[in-house]
Chain A
């Protein structure tokens, strides 16, 4: 069966520090991978998606970047965090675009 791992679960980082969130999927090959952000009390915003190794699409310009160094690994990064980067970050995968999304447990990031 397929599983998705996302870590860390919580993170408190100072403004201006770097960020690296990692997500890995097991039990499937060539998944579509996604990073979403959920601000407090808000909906999900699609940040990045990837349909294959090294292929990254950005939905909105921002202080973040994403990489997919391996088929089932998706990384969200920032060189210098802003206060506005605080939120609940969710990694997800699907078999294809528009299909059912399977979510990781999320990372709650607080930038202080």
Chain B
């Protein structure tokens, strides 16, 4: 059974500092997605990572994939308040538990 694990589950960030979220999955897969969920809202996709070594960047978020290690990272550069949300990784329609990010001044 596929398992998708994220850590940390909660992250309180200070503005302008850098942080990383980790996503591990238990079986081989050819793609991994990152999604964002704002409080009380639905999910929207951020990135799809399709191959080993893939890197995608949008604004202050950068995601990468290591298929050999079955690991993806979501790196946040110089956190700002509007990044506060819950971030999920997903493989084969299974989602991690989510990482709730809060940015404090």
Contact = CB atoms under 8 A, between A and B. Distances in A.
B43 A43 contact: no
A94 B92 CA distance: 11
Nearest to B4: A43
Interface in B30-45: 30-31, 33, 35, 41-45
Contacts of A36: 95
Interface residues of A, number: 19
A104 B41 CA distance: 10
B51 interface: no
Interface residues of B, number: 21
Nearest to B47: A100
A104 B90 contact: no
Given A42-B97, A97-B92, A103-B44, 16 more contacts: A34-B93, A36-B95, A42-B98, A44-B98, A46-B95, A49-B93, A90-B42, A90-B43, A100-B45, A101-B33, A101-B45, A101-B90, A101-B93, A102-B45, A103-B43, A105-B42
